[in-house]
Every structure is written in structure tokens, then in C-alpha cells.
Structure 1
Amino acid sequence: MASFSTAIKRVTPPTKCHPLVSFSTASQPPPSDDAVVSTAASILKHHRSKSRWTELRSLFPTGFHPSQFSKITLQLRNNPRLALSFFQFTLTHSLCDHSLHSYSTIIHTLSRARLKSQTLILMQSALIRFPDNLPSCPPKLFEVLVKTYRTCDSAPFVFDLLIEACLQSKRIDQSVEIVRMLGSQGLYPTISTCNSLIRSVSKSRGCYAGYDMYREVFGFKGQSGSGSGNGGKVAVPNAHTFNVLMLAFFRDGLMGNVEEVWGEMGRVNCEPNSYSYSVLMAAYCENGRMEEALRVWEEMGDKGLKHDVAAYNTIIGGFCKSGEVGRAEGFFREMGLRGVESSCVTFEHLIIGYCEIGDVGSALLLYEDMCRRGFRPEGLTIDVVIRGLCEKKRIFEALELVRVATKKRDIILKEESYECLIKGLCQERKMEEALMLQAEMVGKGYLPNSAIYESFVDGYMKQGNVELAGKLRKEMLENEKPLESN
């Protein structure tokens, strides 16, 4: 990559290569590159779609050299979809042993036309077909794209797509190196690409690595130049950039860092959006700082930002977690009055909140309303409701809920839920039902533990079946011995 700067700024004349074309008459000399290119391009441009491919195969049965393909493609660059069809035609009929150079030509052509999805597919194909010996360096494809950049009359967008292709292929190191190489020559990715890079680094290496990447991409401490994309100007971080950083710190449980990023957003004069406020509120709610969460809620409204479903879910979840379910219910009613559609998460927050304070009746009403609206409850929500019903000695209601949830909604219960139900049935001396449920539990891969054995022992003792209770107690002790020796 020593010649990177000159390659990106100067046209490199394409080299001549020997054609692979052979005409039907053996006495005729092979046509020149120019003749092959001119003839093939003319057929592609001017023949009907059904006849052009037959004509190409007839005239060029041995196909095209990669350099010939590149020259033909350059003549088709104003018709990128036709160029892509030509590329696919050569692959389907094995008419070209494509090189990185020919791949780069079609990639530039498609990228120039902003055919993003097609370009990404070809890039990922090239990355697989031409592997790199040094995965921590920019891929070979990048070097060739640089060399062919001016010849193909390309645009910096092609490098954004290459970074994205590397990120999708989990080539984080190569994505970072591409950004660094571009930056060294005064080319910078778009803000969207920068944000994708920071997100990927955060997920794969942790929130601090993501923050370091942010500092590197936008300049230390977020002090970046003016501009909104590539083409010689450093991208300026936007609200989405800071949302990515705050969310990364939030997921790692570093709520103080969320506040720090929020403060940095203000220092670079970046206006937060609704999601930004929701993440900050979530950080306060997670630490039980509900008054500060409410302050953020009010500030959001003062800024003229709409409280969307994410914001409502955040504040409702915070109050439910702190045990103030009544206040959460107030925000839930407000959602309906303001025409904000509730989500599955809204109901789950409230259902779990009511169960935690022992109001299983209200939780069941919300659960039924949730199911009527077509939401599929998570297994955790079902488990909480089951536990709440069992604590209230409403075992058969819990069993009916389980029956519907497992058959109609494919919910898989946790081991703790089975324990609660079996314990409740044994306390009610419903031993046959408990045994059936225990068989179902084993079928789901849960082995009987000491709590299950104790429940059955207690149940048989209440029935007066001392002999069976004794056998179960002996079996329980025998099963525990191997565990103790381990």
C-alpha cells in the first residue's frame, strides 16, 4: 500500500492481456483485445435480451480474459444492471476466470450506481474467493479497489460498502484498518458507516473499545472537523453515534458512563433524539433513580420530542421495578389517551410488576388483555405469573395457564415453574397430576432435584402412604451421593 496516495489520485492505464477468444475458422488470427471488447460491448448494448447471450456464447466460446471483462464492463457502466447480468452470465457459463481486478471493476460499477445490496454480495464473494494471509491488514480487495478507483470513475461510497461488507463478515480488524488507511489520505467514511463500525467494535470487544473507536474516528474527545460525510471531510458525530455508545455502556451495566456520554453529546452541540432520552432514562431507572428519570421525561417533552412507545416502556418498567406499579399504570393509561400503541414489553413490565407486589388478579387481567391483542408473552412473564398463582394457592388456574401457553404459544417453562406447580399439587394431595407434570418436566430435559423429591415425600406423607414416602426419600439420598462426591 505504499502507492496508495498516487493510486487514488491518478489513473492507472489498464494492461493488455492475451485474449482467450477463438473464432470458428482456425486459419483466422485471434482478434485483438480492442476487437473483443468492441464486439462484446456492442452485442450487449444493442441486441435484444434473449439473443445477446446466445450471440456472445457463439462468438466467444472460450470466454473472456479478466482484463477483457473489465474493459467491457467499463463500457457498460451507464447501464449497471446490464453489467451485473454480464458478470453473472460469465459465472453461470464459466466464461471468465475472474480476478480481483475484474471483481473490482464490476464492484465499482455497481457502487457508482448506488446498488448497495448487489455490491455487498459481490464484495463478500470476493473476500471469500481471494482470502488474505494477514487478516489484521486491509483486504487485498481494498488495494485493488484503490488502484482501479480512477479508471472506473468511482466514488468514496465504494469504501463505505467495503467496510460494511467486512463488518457483516465479522472482519472487524480489517474494517478498522480500512478506516485508518482512508483517513491517512483525507478520505472519511459516512456517519452511518462510522456508527456501524463503533457498534460492531462495542459488541465484539466491549463498550470501552467502542468508545476508543469513537475517539479515533471523530478526533480525540469528539473534536472533529466540519462536514457530513466522506470526500475529504471528517464526519461529525450525530445522535445515533452517542446512542450507540450509551447503549453499549448501559448493556454492560456502566450507568455512570451513560451519563458521561450524555454530557459529551452536549459539549459537541449534538441534539439528542427520543431514543437518546430513553437510554438515559433507562440508566436512571436501572439504578432506581426515578425522580431523575422523571426529570428526563419532562425535559424530553419540553424539547418538543414525542414520548414514543420506547420512552413509555422505559418509564413504566422503571416504576414497576421500584414497586410503584400504580404510577406505572398511570403512564399506561396515558399511552392510550395519547394514541401511543402499547407493545408486548409494556404489558410484561406491568404483569411482572403486579406479581411482585402480590396483586396476581390485576396481573392476570393484563395477561388476558395482552393475549387478546395478539402479543406472545415471553417465558419469563409466564414463569412470574405461575409463581404468583402458586403463592396464592391457585394451582389449577396456574395449570390451565400453562396448558394454553405451551400448546398455543410454544412457551417453554423454566425448571422453577415446574417446581412451583409440583409442590402446589403435592400440597393439595393431587399426586397423580403431580406425577404427570413431573414426567413432562423430565421430557423437557429437567431432572428431578431435591426440591421435587421433598414435595412428593410430603405429599405421600399427607396421604398416609408412609412406605412410598420412605422409598422416595431413600432414592433422593442415593441420587445426592454422587453429586456430593463430585
Structure 2
Amino acid sequence: MAISILNRFLFPIPKHKPFSLSSFSSSPASDQSNSLIPTVVSVLTHHRSKSRWNYLRSIYPDGFDPTQFSQISLQLKNNPHLVLRFFLWTQTKSLCDHNLLSYSTTIHILARGRLKGQAQILMKDAIRLHGSEGHEGEDFDLESKPLKVFESLVKTYTQCGSAPFVFDLLLKACLESKKIDPSIQIVRMLMSRGISPRVNTCNCLIRQVSLCRGAHAGYAIYREVFGLDCGIGEQNVKWVSRFRPNVQTLNTLMVGFYQDGLVENVKEIWDQMKELNCNPDGYSYSILMAAYCDEGKMDEAEDSWNEMVAKKVEPDVVAYNTMIGGFCRIGEIERAEEFFREMALNGIESSTTTYEHLINGYCKIGNVESSKLVYEDMRRKDFRPNASTMEALVRGFCDKNRVLEALEILNGAIRHFDYCPTGKSYEILITGLCQEGKMEEALKLQAKMVGKGFKPNSEIYNAFICGYMKQGNIEVADLLRKEMVETQMCRKEG
């Protein structure tokens, strides 16, 4: 397997020997032709850009093998743009069957030339296309493919005059491809030899692990990478590595725990931040305040806000939205309005989220007039409301027996935003129309609902049945009852 191969390259170095990436290097491959490499280098560097490619193809119609390509590229390593064009030309014209050697050489040259985006693109291609290359008889699964690319980068590192951040680029390429286990193994192998990935790269790893495997798994990686000698909630933080996390690291951990609903762990990470003398930024405070707001602890959220202001940390739109949303959820709309006004006075532009919080807040206390005014202001700014906000607005007007106004709001959203109503919105409106005896309008809306792919459920059937019963149309109500039972039976059998 790839791990055993990497171990042969990475681990057998005597303890007394100082670490150097030169211990990973391999000797250059022998050149099969005494003239090919200098000739190609000369053509690429001295011929005009428009003629060089046709001329090269005319004198070398069979192209180049990966070793020849790599040796040519090494001669051009101070011109990374030319190396990239040479690589893409040989790839497009099928003049080189590129393997891990030629990919790795090109990646190193691009990285040392600070062409990081292009280097990462080639890394992803190398993982996808060539990661399964190996020794005869060895079988590589998909998870081992990044490790083969890593092995090749290690072997060609010194020869290409590369820099350690090339491995950060590889790790980011792996993480963007959702290859978590190989990323963790690469970090472990680098750190075992004294190479520490950049803090921001470690943050990306922690974030991806937290998203895919949960916040506790992300915290475990955090402890391992940064050498933290304590568990979550423990005191006396001790560090055994030579580099420490930054505020973005701790923000990443707090976000992970917050998204998993582990509010107490958010507070524990906050306490660790203070122990590490790591100054929280506006985003740090926003996460902590969001945790308090979700629990309805607005006093604690305001204390955090006041602390943030006292420390001269400028609140941003996220912080304001957090407080506005918190007060709206508990029905204290006046306090939410205060933060909204302060936000405007401080020159911070409102976002879609700001308006959604206010609309939901006004609907929660039954102030549909104010919710409509906020919605109209939102529409003027061309902010598109989400489905839950539209449902709250529709429900608010229907609860006030203003169903036709609710219907007009929904139709306006369809016209203005090309909004697609949810099945729940249709259900609320049809129920309201039936309760008011507006059966014709309800039938027209139900036809639109079916045209959008929503099937009538038992709530909609019952709304029509009740509506027709109120009108004394018992025959139609009975037919609908029968149809509802048959429909439910068909769905169960299906």
C-alpha cells in the first residue's frame, strides 16, 4: 500500500541526523539523448512564441517521455509561465504521457514561482489521473492516491528547489476534493519530520473534519496538530508543538461546536482563547453571541456585545444580525429595532438576513403591518426572501383573516423574484381561502399548486371539505372525503 512506500521514504532517518528535505530527494533520471534537452530548451527560450510550438512538433513528432519533459522543465524553472505552457501544450497535443514525475516537477516549479492556483489545479489532476501508479503488483485505492502524489513531490522536492508550502497546496487540494484521511496522514508524516503546515492550512483541515465528521472529531485533530496536552473543558492548557493556533483556528472550533448544537463547548473554546491570550475578533464575538441567542440568553449576549465594544472591536453586519435575530426570536422587537437603527447610523449596510429577522419578529408578535413595510423595503433593495420568511409573512396575514392580501404578497414575490412558493405556503393560503368561503379562489390556487408539482395532502382536502360544508354543499364534501380516502390508500400501496 501507499503508506508502506511513504514510510520507506519518510521514516528511516537516524535520530542524530538533522532534518532536511534533501533527505527526501532522488537523483535525476538519466537523459537518453545528448541533444534533445538542450535543443528543446533553446527553442523554447529563443524562438518566437508563435513559431516555437510548430517547430518543436516538426522536429520531435513523437514527443517526449516524462523524464525528458522533467529535465527540460528543470532547465526552465526560473520561467514558470513557460513551463506551464510547455506542459499544457504537450498534454493537449498528446506529445507526452505525463506521469507523477512530470506532474511533480511542474507543480514544484509553479509553486516556487508563486503560481499557486495553477499548481493546485495540476495537483488535483495528478490525484485524479495518476495516483494509482505504483510498483508492480501493488493495488491502490482512491484514498491512497493523494499519498502517491505526496510521495512523488517529496522525491522531487530538492531537485526542483521547491519550498515547504508546496505541501500546504497539496493539503488544500486534498481537502477541496474531500479527501480527509489522506490529508490527516500527510500532516502526520510532515510533522513527524519537523515540517509544520501553515496555521491556515491546519484551520482548513479542522474545518473540513468538523463539517464531515462532527465538531469533536475536528477538536481531536486540533489537539493533535497543535500539540495540545488537554481535552475539551480541561484546565492548564500546555503546548508541545513549536507553533500555536490563531484566532481563526479557535473561531473554526467554535463554529463547529455551534453548528452541532454544542453550546457549552463553544463557551469552553472561548475560555481557552482567553487562556492563550488570543484576542477575539468580531467574528469570535458573533459566534459566542449566537450561542447565547439560540438559548434565549439575551442578557449574556448583550454582555458579550458590550465587552466587544469596550475592547474597540468593530461590530460587523454578522454581529448586528446576530443580536437583531436574537431579540426577534424572543419577541422583543423594540430592542431589535434599536440595533437596526444603530447599524444604519454606523454606516453598516443591512443584508437579506437583517430583513428576514425583522419580518419574522414582527409576524411573531402579530404586527403584520410592520412586517409588510419591512418586506416592501426589502423588495426595493432587491433582497430575495427565503422560503421560511415568505411562509411567516403569508401565515401572519392569514392569521389576521387577511388572506387576499397574503395571496397578493405571494403573487408579487412570484412576479418580482421569480419566487417558487413552497407546498406549505399553498396549504396556508388554501386553508385561509376556504375558511373565508372563497372556494373559487381556493380552487384556482389549488390548480396552480398541482401545476407546480405539489399534490394535495389531507390538510388541503379537509380545508375544502370544511369550506363546502359551511356552504351547505354536502354532496361535494362527501365526494372529496371519498377521494381523500382513495388517494391516501393509493399512496400507502405505492
Q: State the TM-score bracket (shorter-chain normalisation).
A: over 0.9
Distance 1:41 1:399, change over 3 A: same
Contact map agreement 1:405 1:411 (CA 8 A) in 2: yes
Q: Which residue of 2 aligns with 1:366?
A: 374
Partner Cα distance (1:473, 1:64) in 2:
77
The answer for unaligned runs of 5 or more in structure 1 is: 19-31, 227-233
The structural deviation recorded for 1:485 is 8.1
Distance 1:335 1:61, change over 3 A: same
After the TM superposition, which residues 443-462 of structure 1 pair with which residues of structure 2 at under 5 Å, given as runs? 443-462=451-470
Partner Cα distance (1:376, 1:113) in 2:
43
Q: Alpha-carbon deviations, 1:294-343, whole Å to 9, x = none?
A: 00000001111111111000001001111111110111111111111111
Q: Which residue of 1 aligns with 2:442?
A: 434
Partner Cα distance (1:109, 1:481) in 2:
67
**Which range is displaced more, 437-446 or 394-403?**
437-446
Contact map agreement 1:355 1:388 (CA 8 A) in 2: yes
Q: Which residue of 2 aligns with 1:4?
A: 10
Q: Alpha-carbon deviations, 1:6-35, whole Å to 9, x = none?
A: 6832443212153xxxxxxxxxxxxx2x42
Q: How many residues align?
A: 465
Partner Cα distance (2:424, 2:40) in 1:
70
Distance 1:485 1:123, change over 3 A: closer
Distance 1:376 1:484, change over 3 A: closer
Q: Which residue of 2 aligns with 1:39?
A: 39
The one-letter amino acid of 1:59's match is I
Q: Which residue of 2 aligns with 1:16?
A: 30
The structural deviation recorded for 1:414 is 2.5
The one-letter amino acid of 2:101's match is H
Question: Which residue of 331, 335, 342 corresponds with 2:350?
Answer: 342
Partner Cα distance (1:202, 1:410) in 2:
36
The answer for unaligned runs of 5 or more in structure 2 is: 1-5, 14-19, 133-139, 231-236
The structural deviation recorded for 1:470 is 2.1
The structural deviation recorded for 1:266 is 1.3
Taking structure 2 as the reference length, the TM-score comes to 0.91
Partner Cα distance (2:473, 2:174) in 1:
67
Partner Cα distance (1:134, 1:462) in 2:
67
After the TM superposition, which residues 6-405 of structure 1 pair with which residues of structure 2 at under 5 Å, given as runs? 8-10=21-23, 11-18=25-32, 32=33, 34-132=34-132, 133-137=140-144, 139-220=147-228, 221=230, 223-224=238-239, 234-405=242-413
Partner Cα distance (1:455, 1:102) in 2:
69
What's the RMSD between the two structures over aligned residues? 1.8
Contact map agreement 1:378 1:411 (CA 8 A) in 2: no
Distance 1:67 1:400, change over 3 A: same
Taking structure 1 as the reference length, the TM-score comes to 0.92
Distance 1:47 1:297, change over 3 A: same
Contact map agreement 1:189 1:235 (CA 8 A) in 2: no
Which SS does the other structure have where 2:35 is aligned? helix
The one-letter amino acid of 2:264's match is G
Which SS does the other structure have where 1:139 is aligned? helix
The structural deviation recorded for 1:482 is 5.4
Partner Cα distance (1:8, 1:386) in 2:
65
**Which range is displaced more, 52-61 or 162-171?**
52-61
Instruction: Among all aligned residue pairs of Structure 1 and Structure 2, give the percentage whose two residues are the same amino acid.
Output: 54
Q: Which residue of 2 aligns with 1:27?
A: none
The one-letter amino acid of 1:50's match is K
Contact map agreement 1:135 1:173 (CA 8 A) in 2: no
**Which range is displaced more, 291-300 or 435-444?**
435-444
Contact map agreement 1:135 1:174 (CA 8 A) in 2: no
Distance 1:71 1:385, change over 3 A: same
Contact map agreement 2:76 2:82 (CA 8 A) in 1: yes
The structural deviation recorded for 1:139 is 1.6
The structural deviation recorded for 1:40 is 0.6
Contact map agreement 2:131 2:149 (CA 8 A) in 1: no
Partner Cα distance (2:57, 2:457) in 1:
71
Partner Cα distance (1:181, 1:210) in 2:
19
**Which range is displaced more, 177-186 or 213-222?**
213-222
Partner Cα distance (2:173, 2:483) in 1:
58
Partner Cα distance (1:372, 1:3) in 2:
63
Partner Cα distance (1:78, 1:235) in 2:
32
**Which range is displaced more, 276-285 or 463-472?**
463-472
Which SS does the other structure have where 2:392 is aligned? helix
